[in-house]
Amino acid sequence: DAKTTQPPSMDCAEGRAANLPCNHSTISGNEYVYWYRQIHSQGPQYIIHGLKNNETNEMASLIITEDRKSSTLILPHATLRDTAVYYCIVTSRGSNYKLTFGKGTLLTVNP
């Protein structure tokens, strides 16, 4: 699986959009980008995933660059409950049952 690079921490004001970047420059053609988050002491929560097109669901939007070497997770209106560690994971089809978690980005949403 391709490695990912994320900033260790970010801050965001409540009500503003949170844009979390992820670099995955060695991603290969059959690998997906997944985002999970973990609120303190809870199990990780699936957010969204994509292959090459931008994706949106009720939680977030995922923007993948055309060369697929980086992506951005967007939380459109961050709330205090969005404070968590966000993990960007790249994995191929058939390997998404054995996720490799990096250190992630600690997003702190401030009032």
Partner 1 sequence: KAGVTQTPRYLIKTRGQQVTLSCSPISGHRSVSWYQQTPGQGLQFLFEYFSETQRNKGNFPGRFSGRQFSNSRSEMNVSTLELGDSALYLCASSSGRGTGAYEQYFGPGTRLTVT
Closer residue to partner 1 (CB): 15 or 46:
46
What's the Rg (C-alpha) of the chain? 13
Closer residue to partner 1 (CB): 12 or 73:
73
Closer residue to partner 1 (CB): 21 or 102:
102
Are 9 and 20 contacting, i.e. CB atoms less than 8 angstroms apart?
no
Where on the phi/psi map is residue 94: left (φ > 0), alpha (ψ -120 to 50), or beta? left
CB of 46 to partner 1, least distance (A): 4
Are 32 and 92 contacting, i.e. CB atoms less than 8 angstroms apart?
yes
CB of 15 to partner 1, least distance (A): 28
Q: State how far the Cα of 104 lies from the Cα of 111, in Å rounded to an integer.
A: 22
* 43 touching partner 1, by CB under 8 A: yes
Helix (H, G, I), strand (E, B) or coil at 107: strand
CB of 83 to partner 1, least distance (A): 18
Helix (H, G, I), strand (E, B) or coil at 65: coil
Closer residue to partner 1 (CB): 16 or 103:
103
Judged by CB under 8 A, the stretch of 3-11, 39-47, 59-67, 76-84 that binds partner 1 is: 39-47
Residues near partner 1 (CB under 8 A) are 32, 34, 41-46, 49, 51, 87, 93-103
